[in-house]
Amino acid sequence: MALSTLLATFLCTIVLPILLFLVAVKLWEIYMIRGRDPTCPSPLPPGSMGLPFIGETLQLILQRRKFLRMKRQKYGYIYRTHLFGNPTVRVTGADNVRQILLGEHKLVSVQWPASVRTILGSDTLSSVHGAQHKTKKKAILQAFSKEALELYIPVIQEEVRTAVTEWLARDSCVLVYPEMKRLMFRIAMRILLGFELEQIKTDEQQLVEAFEEMIKNLFSLPIDVPFSGLYRGLKARNFIHSKIEENIKKKLQDSDRGTSHRDALQQLIDSSKKNGEPLSMQAIKESATELLFGGHETTASTATSLIMFLGLNPEAVDRLRQELMEKVIIVHISLATRANLNIESLQQLKYTGCVIKETLRINPPVPGGFRVALKTFKLNGYQIPKGWNVIYSICDTHDVAEIFPNKEDFQPERFMTKPLADSSRFQYIPFGGGSRMCVGKEFAKVLLKIFLVEVVTRCHWTLLNGPPTMKTAPTVYPVDNLPTKFTRYIQN
């Protein structure tokens, strides 16, 4: 009698809940698959929808690249899943990604997860559509024109040089990734948002911490309750907005006095005035926050990867220095005078550009982009149902690109040959593609070239932990923060 009671208790407390859970998961899978369009004969992509309601979001957040790699190996270049509250199709490979990127407004439309839209806002360049997107993009592009970039060069040099001097003065190691985020944040605050040095000195630490908190919770479950990721992200965002609002009001006062600055934030303010629209403080704050995210988070990631790859490949550093000597740039720096850098001299640094391209190939800072299907359409034999989210993968597309032999090797010279043909261009998409290609890509290239000029001509460095493990949250970074020892380079 006692044995039967024990068995019944075991079945009720252990086996029955497990069975109910498995049934719930199966019913969830069936329910989600019923979302396919019955008018389309093509099957849904292979894959799984994960747990009820939360899908496979937790696995993605916890495992990141490992999760994505396992999915691709199991299901191929197109597979279905359920992420951030929505059924989702993840897409890899040049031909598939081409159809998504060139299908903007016809097959798909940009739509980031609900947590991203809530934190960054609905009036950002990455979220608006149609004429509003064109107007906002045109205004921001003016801040990244050749003339504007020329004006930014001395500021970038000043900030990078100050940072490098600090690294060389330290006896202990430098944690490269946090230093890069601090450096790129200062540059973005000055150049993109027009903050003055005194403002940055006063608010820098609080802003950096708030921005870290916001970014950490950007991709989270869309649940706004105390202590949730979304709640913490919004609280940090509100602090950032308060500081940006102070700067906007100052700019408006300066504008009334006939003085204005050539930065991206000012361009957005001027654009609103020219279009006769009432100035929306919230819209400007959202756009400024997006600029700050795009203008420093991605460049900090890439600058860190540059230090990593060059630290592991000293022959590439030697070749960089050789190019700088040939272009007479290194002489100016070795004499402790300001290098005569301008857009033309930076464009001559072909191998330097190739080092950046190769770094972006292996470690693109942004792993992909989000879209939503405007109608049901076919993609490589599978149906993509209307209303489902579509994520195109940049990192996986680079991994499977046929035009890059020896993909694991760091070989900048692979880009020294002729430019990619049109038929191959979607095999290399570090800045995305189509009408939503990154508006700040030329700014990023100029910034990263100046960074390399300053670091390579002034420093030797050694990675103290060797090759690091990389994670994505939301941009690529080394889990150990890349501890590095910098010493002064003496030109022979």
Is 40 annotated as a binding-site member?
Answer: no
User: Over the range 422-442, which residues count as b (16 or more CB within 10 Å of their CB) and which as e?
Assistant: eeeebbbbbbbbbebebbbeb
452, 433 in Cβ contact below 8 A? Answer: no
Residue-level length of the chain: 492
* Cis? peptide before 467, omega within 30° of 0: no
pTM exceeds 0.95 for this model: no
Residues in a beta bridge with 373: 108
- Return the SS3 of 149: helix
Q: Label residue 60 exposed, middle or buried (CB < 10 Å: 0-12, 13-18, 19+).
A: buried
Nearby residues of 271 by Cβ (< 8 Å), 6 or more positions away: 135, 136, 138, 139
- Two tokens, residue 254: 């300066």
Alpha-carbon span 148 to 88, nearest angstrom = 40
> Kindly report the CA angle at 183 between 185 and 161, in degrees rounded to 5?
140
* CB neighbours of residue 446 within 10 Å: 21
339, 333 in Cβ contact below 8 A? Answer: yes
- Two tokens, residue 187: 């540059």
- DSSP H/E element including 4: helix 2-10
Do the domain assignments include residue 10?
Answer: no
Task: Give the per-residue pLDDT at 232.
Answer: 94
Do the domain assignments include residue 27?
Answer: no
Do the domain assignments include residue 28?
Answer: no
- Two tokens, residue 256: 């009334």
Nearby residues of 284 by Cβ (< 8 Å), 6 or more positions away: 244, 248, 265, 268, 269, 272
- Over residues 30-54, the pLDDT tens digits come to 555 656 677 888 999 999 888 877 8
Domain total for the chain? Answer: 1
Do the domain assignments include residue 26?
Answer: no
Query: Whose CA is closest to 486, among 130, 107, 173?
Result: 173
Alpha-carbon span 9 to 16, nearest angstrom = 10
- Over residues 475-492, the pLDDT tens digits come to 899 999 999 999 999 876
The residue whose two tokens read 């279905």 is 80
Q: Measure the CA dihedral 153/157/160/161, to 10°.
A: 180
Residue type, 438: C
Alpha-carbon span 301 to 304, nearest angstrom = 5
- Over residues 296-314, the pLDDT tens digits come to 889 999 999 999 999 999 9
CATH number, domain containing residue 193: 1.10.630.10
CA atoms within 13 A on the CB side of 315: 4
Alpha-carbon span 171 to 447, nearest angstrom = 27
Long-range contacts of 328-334 (CB under 8 A, 24+ apart): 329/453, 329/457, 330/457, 330/491, 333/453, 333/454, 333/457, 333/458, 334/457, 334/491
Longest dimension (CA), the chain: 94
Alpha-carbon span 209 to 200, nearest angstrom = 13
What secondary structure letter does DSSP report for 469? P
- Return the SS3 of 370: strand
Alpha-carbon span 110 to 126, nearest angstrom = 7
Do the domain assignments include residue 14?
Answer: no
Do the domain assignments include residue 457?
Answer: yes
Do the domain assignments include residue 224?
Answer: yes
Q: 128: domain range?
A: 35-488
Angle between helices 264-274 and 229-256 (to 10 degrees): 70
Do the domain assignments include residue 482?
Answer: yes
Task: Give the per-residue pLDDT at 335.
Answer: 42
Task: Give the per-residue pLDDT at 33.
Answer: 61
- Return the SS3 of 87: strand
* CB neighbours of residue 134 within 10 Å: 12
The pLDDT tens digits along the chain (492 residues) read 566 676 666 556 765 666 555 555 555 555 556 566 778 889 999 998 888 778 888 888 777 778 888 898 999 999 999 988 889 999 999 999 999 999 988 999 988 888 888 898 887 888 888 888 888 888 788 888 898 899 899 999 999 999 999 999 998 899 999 999 999 999 998 888 888 877 777 778 888 889 889 988 888 878 888 888 899 999 999 999 998 888 888 888 776 655 555 677 887 787 777 766 666 788 888 888 888 888 888 999 999 999 999 999 999 999 999 999 887 665 444 444 445 788 999 999 999 999 999 999 999 999 899 999 999 999 999 999 999 999 999 999 999 998 999 999 999 999 988 666 665 789 999 999 888 888 889 999 999 999 999 999 999 999 999 899 988 878 899 999 999 999 999 876
